[in-house]
């Protein structure tokens, strides 16, 4: 019954934009950070962007910094990942995840996160 639900993936051309959304409204446990992660075929899952629910501090991977923005929409229980200037190497399944532990800085390791959504596919064509 505890769920995170991603949406917003799709097929875009290089240079295009997408906004992913993580719906946390059915996640009834306490959590202190939400992360966006991605996994491309044959590759390890990696952090893209994470945000603290305590102070809104953020983390961005070097590969997306300056192109992606993570935003909390608290009234609607959503965490968005706004992706701009998409590149073919951004192609992956994107997951949102919740961390139920408190950290002094926003966590960005896969192992820090306890619950995961089902993923949404992002495909960027060249």
41 backbone φψ class: left, alpha, beta (φ>0; ψ -120 to 50):
beta
**C-alpha count within 13 angstroms, C-beta hemisphere, residue 111:** 0
Give the model's pLDDT for residue 40.
Answer: 97
Q: Contact at 8 Å (CB) between 81 and 92?
A: no
Separation of alpha carbons 26 and 95, rounded Å: 16
Q: What are phi and psi of 110, to 5 degrees?
A: -55, -40
Q: Contact at 8 Å (CB) between 96 and 117?
A: yes
**pLDDT digit of tens for each residue in the chain (126 aa)?**
679 999 999 999 999 999 999 999 999 898 999 999 999 999 999 999 999 999 999 999 999 999 999 999 999 999 999 999 999 999 999 999 999 999 889 999 999 999 999 999 999 999
Give the model's pLDDT for residue 14.
Answer: 98
């Amino acid at each position: 019954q505890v769920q995170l639900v991603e949406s917003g993936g799709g097929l875009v051309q290089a240079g295009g934009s997408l906004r992913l959304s993580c719906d946390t409204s059915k996640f009834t446990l306490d959590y202190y950070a939400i992360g966006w992660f991605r996994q491309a075929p044959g590759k390890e899952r990696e952090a893209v962007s994470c945000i603290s629910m305590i102070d809104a501090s953020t983390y961005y991977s070097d590969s997306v910094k300056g192109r992606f923005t993570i935003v909390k929409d608290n009234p609607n229980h959503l965490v968005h990942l706004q992706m701009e200037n998409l590149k073919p190497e951004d192609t992956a399944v994107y997951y949102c995840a919740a961390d139920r532990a408190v950290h002094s800085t926003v966590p960005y390791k896969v192992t820090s996160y306890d619950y995961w959504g089902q993923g949404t596919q992002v495909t960027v064509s060249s």
